[in-house]
Structure 1
Amino acid sequence: MPPSPPAAPALDPRQRDVLYAIGCGLTDAEIAASLAIPERAVAGHLGRILATLRLRDRAAAIVHAFDCGLVQPGHGPRRKAADAPSRTTVRGVADRAPGAGVRISLLGPPRAWQAGRPVPLGPVRQQAVLAALALRPGRAVGTPELLDRIWGTEPPIGNVVPVYIYRLRKILCTGHGAGADPVIEREQAGYRLNRSAVEVDVAHAEELAAAATRAERAGDLAEAVRACSRALDLFYGEPLAGLPERFAELERLRLTEHRITLAQRKAGWQLRLGRTAEATAELSALAAAHPLDEQVVALLMRALHQGGRPAEALAVFDRTHRRLREELGVAPGELLRRTRRAMLSGAPRT
């Protein structure tokens, strides 16, 4: 492993001021104006900073400013650069309400809000870093694991993960000063999303699904339907849409299956409550989106049969049989065949 870079105290006072301003995200022009020095002098100071600290580039300098404690994203700056005006505070922190929470949505294209206002999440792989942490609540994720999940077999050169973490900390903060909560915490094992400071829609959907199960066990099917409806309302498109690599694709499949399962459970409870028309309408839409899902099709057949539409139920079977043969080269499974036999035998509509 390469040696650890020297700490910021190895710099002279002016270089520390420049490093601080770089860590706060200021451009060369902004640094020159805040320190009252020529812009070309900023470039000279940066070059000497990189040489002294053995850093590769400006992004590495930003990370170093955070790691050595000169700047602490999410908590506001620890000190002001000499002669620097107040605008050198970390961008986006000063104008945010202290203690304001952060919401992250992954049940569609990744999105985030701070104090109710949407915030940009940056490049797609930066979004993927946030998603990888958000999908592992309460657990630290190390840099090697993040590299593997987000870049696969072609990891980047350099310390890109700490840079993305630094940027995300700046973007997603819960206030400033001593009372602020860090959104992303650093531990020995890696990085961890602070569950007390962040709400993630995936976790909320899982909580609602668990509430629906408890309601069913208590015999309150109407409450179970309501909880399922609230969970389904959190989905607003293809989960993790646009994120690359196998990790995102596997999570996308898992969350899509979760959505289908929720819709099936809700429809099953609606049928038990006699709300046949509601179940049929929702299952018809679900079957249109997933025409080869035999569990969905079987449930739609049951709903149509229970609603006094047996001919339509058998037509659904015939259509699915044809598509399975033409698109997958297989026959209907036992569940669909059993559902069809029950209808042909005149089984009760329950």
Structure 2
Amino acid sequence: MPTTATTGQPTVTTLTLEEREVLYAVGCGLSDAEVAAALALPGDAVAGHLARILAGLGLRDRAAAIVHAFDCGLVVPGHGPRETAGPAPRTTVGPARAPRMRISVLGPLRAWRGQQPLDVGHLRQQAVLAALALCPDRTVSQQELLDGVWGMEPPITKVVPVYIYRLRKALRGEDSPDPVIQRDRYGYRLVPGAVEVDVTRMEGLVTAAAAAERAGELAEAVRVCSQALDLFRGELLAGLPGPFAELERLRLTERRIALVQRKLDWQLRLGRYAEAIAELWALAVAQPLNEPVAAMLMRALYRSGRQADALSVFDRTRRALADGLGMPPGPLLKRTHQLILRGDDADLGLARTAP
């Protein structure tokens, strides 16, 4: 079996053309059903292709395949496919191969066709598009759109079909007359594979980071998780009205905070304390009642030789919990405080040297 000159590991050049296309689609975060639809494969064929890909490349599972797709350059976040050594994948393999457009919801809603920004209308019309973009795997009914965008004050007239018509017109390109939004008997949805949504890309990167962690590659996990966090840009769904946008703002905000904490925990496990302190400080200020963040900041400060600062973080968080919730610190924060007082590096789980 052909291998790389440097690592001796199998490369994507050992795969058939169809297997490379499946690996690309999996690396983009598509489900088996979406891969089958994008590549015009039988519904049960994708699992077989993926099994052969894993065996041929010596990979453990789907998450490892996603990491490999990024590592070998087959998938580049935000830039579509990139050529690798050996025969290049076909340039046309269905909508998921080269999405006709991109939508970003990890900030103010934006849409592009290639590098050309698109005008998707006023805020309520944007909210309809955001609802479709954030429900990529299913049809959204007209009633769901009414409830999610207008809430308790539904419009008098039937405006949803009008907004869908306008969005189809705005998103349709001259070189691609097919609509990006399709309708079935249950409602509306984005055509599978026709649109690249930044949330889907972000979740694919998160999956890859988790796979890297399981493989013991914490530095790689930090790198990929940082790429996922870079996709967040400004106020989430800025200005969009309705209960759906409000709930998604809360969900995505919590998702971002969880990812930041995950990345910072990996940095501490690598011994990169100074690198993590500034971001931990900012997060602790923004989340004064977040005890896991306070505990991580205390650990980082202590290992950087700043025991007094670490203890002051405990005192500040204790006061915030008392004033805000009328509660004392929880077990994690109290245990971290006691271990720092004792100077117990081992039980704090701290690396002794930074790489």
User: Deviations 1:225-265 (Å, cap 9, x if unpaired)?
Assistant: 11100000001122212122322222111111111111111
Structure 1 segments of 4+ aligned residues over 6 angstroms from their partners: none
8 Å contact from structure 1 (residues 138, 194) kept in 2: no
8 Å contact from structure 2 (residues 147, 243) kept in 1: no
Do structure 1's residue 117 and structure 2's residue 116 form an aligned pair?
yes
User: Deviations 1:314-342 (Å, cap 9, x if unpaired)?
Assistant: 11111122222223333322222222122
Moved more, 316-325 or 99-108: 99-108
8 Å contact from structure 1 (residues 174, 197) kept in 2: no
Letter in 2 for 1:276: Y
Radius of gyration: which is bigger? 1
Matches of residues 159-174 of structure 1 in structure 2 within 5 Å? 159-174=158-173
Equivalent pairs, count: 250
**So what's the TM-score if we normalise by structure 2?**
0.67
**Aligned position for 1:141:** 140
User: Deviations 1:123-158 (Å, cap 9, x if unpaired)?
Assistant: 111111111111111211010111111111111111
**Aligned position for 2:183:** 186
Structure-1 separation of matches of 2:233 and 2:331: 33
Letter in 2 for 1:237: G
* Residue 115 (structure 1) shift: 1.8
* Residue 100 (structure 1) shift: 7.2
Moved more, 179-188 or 160-169: 179-188
8 Å contact from structure 2 (residues 132, 189) kept in 1: yes
Matches of residues 338-349 of structure 1 in structure 2 within 5 Å? 338-348=335-345
Do structure 1's residue 287 and structure 2's residue 284 form an aligned pair?
yes
**So what's the TM-score if we normalise by structure 1?**
0.68
**Aligned position for 2:92:** none
Structure-2 separation of matches of 1:290 and 1:114: 37
Structure-2 separation of matches of 1:282 and 1:189: 45
Q: 1:310 aligns with which of 289, 297, 307?
A: 307
Q: 1:255 aligns with which of 229, 252, 257?
A: 252
Letter in 1 for 2:139: A
Structure-1 separation of matches of 2:99 and 2:243: 34
8 Å contact from structure 1 (residues 106, 239) kept in 2: yes
Letter in 1 for 2:240: L
Structure-2 separation of matches of 1:331 and 1:156: 48
Q: 1:234 aligns with which of 224, 231, 236?
A: 231
Matches of residues 47-86 of structure 1 in structure 2 within 5 Å? none
Aligned-partner SS, 1:141: coil
Change (3 A) 1:286 1:174: farther
Aligned-partner SS, 1:237: coil
**Aligned position for 1:10:** none
Structure-2 separation of matches of 1:132 and 1:201: 14
Aligned-partner SS, 1:236: coil
Do structure 1's residue 222 and structure 2's residue 226 form an aligned pair?
no
8 Å contact from structure 1 (residues 271, 279) kept in 2: yes
Give identity over the alignment, percent: 63
Structure-2 separation of matches of 1:153 and 1:347: 56
8 Å contact from structure 1 (residues 100, 175) kept in 2: no
Do structure 1's residue 157 and structure 2's residue 172 form an aligned pair?
no
